Structure 1
């Protein structure tokens, strides 16, 4: 990966001195939003959102409500998150759970409320909703497992819609500033000595990923024909880490029982084959990813050994907090 492509563009823009005060909620959803963002639908409906919404727009003309927190942060996704947390460290003090949801995720206020509720109930540090059968996806493990489980404990959580505890996000912030736009999600579950039963895919909440993976690739600094694998390998090599696949090693079933049998979890993963007629992926690609997931459940190492990121030198960030209109039209 050419290092020039990794240089964040967001950090050069002046942003407000202080975020407006939120509602007092302890849950926050942040979206790096473009003009076609689906986030307006996340706060529609009957009832009350149990979360604040922070719209961190990467282009002008992004819709937002007067009650939403909003910041204009042009640039790449992870670089933009890095700039946001560097300039507004109070986010980690003001909220207990912080979700980073991509703007092409189709979900509802009720589902997001439920997602936060389950995360708190099971004392999770990092988790994500499951993806619907008709979603675009990279890892079949993220697809809904059907009605068998409330959640599945996993060795990592994808970048698409992770929900962090403030403690977990604080520990992972160093990864956001390294200049990578992919691959850090393979490491952020490996920053503690007590990782077991702390990271999960929530099958009780299902969302839809509406865009093909890689649609915004060039916007994130990748060449047209450049593979994500190149940067992922660079991230792992930098930390001397190994990742041999998404593994779900335990689960909570609908009766509230903890299932520790990887054989049974792998057996249940075969139900993904029912999604073959719904998936937007090519059948050959879907079958390869689905069978990989089953094989990983049964055979692959979990790889949750701790890595050290404290000694890694990070690029500096110039955060010019000068008064300006928060969101250009």
Structure 2
């Protein structure tokens, strides 16, 4: 596995997740701090997640030459060094340029597609969210000038999958590695931004206009089943629905009805 740089934004180095610095399994962890009690031995930049990440990489441009892959998880992701290493290895072996681990069924989530599906090792998708993306250097170099003035970058994840060289092959959600997210969505970020009089709603509206973001249905178009078989088309849709139906009682946030299952089998327009 090629070395991977993990950058995590946290209020302080002391509040960074334990897994960030806990491994020598092929990745290096760095913390970018935004809080009042930041440790001067680590990177410091006030503001949101993406402004801080971009500032770190602008301050240390040598990192872009040293690493081919970069992972940017939120600080409230619950995982282990072993699961991180497994995710990074699979993503590199499959040649993904934009990917994420899946979420445990009990997680607080925004998109149903990101919940782990027990029938799959991974699904090639048209969507990866901002919560914990693995980004190849080629895509990251395109993103840096776009993200450098954005705190939350809401809306960018609706278009960035189109900027890899082969979107149908290089964008994926890895089901065989689940990670937990149990903090209420956006509350911590919104409260931090309000303290600095930063309007995330306006930022999102500006991003939508800037990038001409259009709504679409997030979906998988190919996948590898746990037995190793690759599926697409009607077979893929059936396996997706059956997999999610089998864990319906484990999904504790925003339970699904018939309408939600139908979104996985609807033909894309």
Give the TM-score band, short-chain normalised.
Answer: 0.7 to 0.9
Structure 1 residue 175, shift from structure 2 partner: 2.2
Q: Count how many residue pairs are aligned between Structure 1 and Structure 2.
A: 264
CA distance in 1, matches of 2:106, 2:260: 19
Selected match of 1:209 from 172, 178, 181: 181
What is the deviation of 1:37?
4.1
Distance 1:180 1:57 in 2: 14
TM-score normalised by structure 1 residue count: 0.71
1:40 aligns with 2:18: yes
Partner of 2:255: 286
TM-score (norm 2): 0.85
Radius of gyration: which is bigger? Answer: 1
Q: CA deviation at 1:108?
A: 0.3
Which residue number corresponds to residue 27 of structure 1?
A: 4
| Cα separation, 2, equivalents of 1:222 and 1:200 | 35
Matches within 5 A, 1:3-82: 26-35=3-12, 37=15, 39-44=17-22, 48-61=24-37, 70-82=42-54
Bigger mean CA offset, 131-140 vs 290-299: 290-299
Q: What is the CA-CA distance between 1:269 and the residue it aligns to? A: 3.0
Q: What runs of 5+ residues in structure 2 fail to find an aligned partner?
A: none
**1:102 offset after TM fit, Å?**
0.4
Mapping for residues 1-329 of structure 1, pairs under 5 Å:
26-35=3-12, 37=15, 39-44=17-22, 48-61=24-37, 70-146=42-118, 148-179=119-150, 181=152, 182-192=154-164, 194-216=166-188, 217-221=190-194, 232=204, 234-262=206-234, 264-281=236-253, 285-287=254-256, 291-292=259-260, 294-301=262-269
Moved runs in structure 1, 4+ residues, more than 3 A?
35-38, 41-44, 60-64, 220-224, 230-234, 273-280, 290-294
SS of the aligned residue for 1:135 comes to coil
Write 1 or 2 for the structure with the bigger share of helix: 2
Structure 1 residues 257 and 276, CA gap change in structure 2 (3 angstroms)? closer
How well do the aligned residues superpose, as a CA RMSD in angstroms? 3.0
Q: 1-side partners of 2:194 and 2:246: how far apart?
A: 36
1:153-201 CA deviation, whole Å, 9 max, x = no partner?
A: 1112111000011112112222212435211111211224532210100
Q: Of the two structures, which has the highest relative contact order with CA contacts closer than 8 Å and spacing of 6 or more?
A: 1
Alignment CA distance shift 1:142-1:115 (3 Å): same
Aligned equivalent of 1:307: none
Residues 20 and 29 in structure 2, CA contact (< 8 A), matched pair in contact too: no
Distance 2:145 2:178 in 1: 30
1:278 and 1:253, CA in 2 relative to 1: closer, same or farther beyond 3 A?
closer
In structure 2, relative to structure 1, the CA distance for the partners of 1:232 and 1:85 (3 Å cut) is same
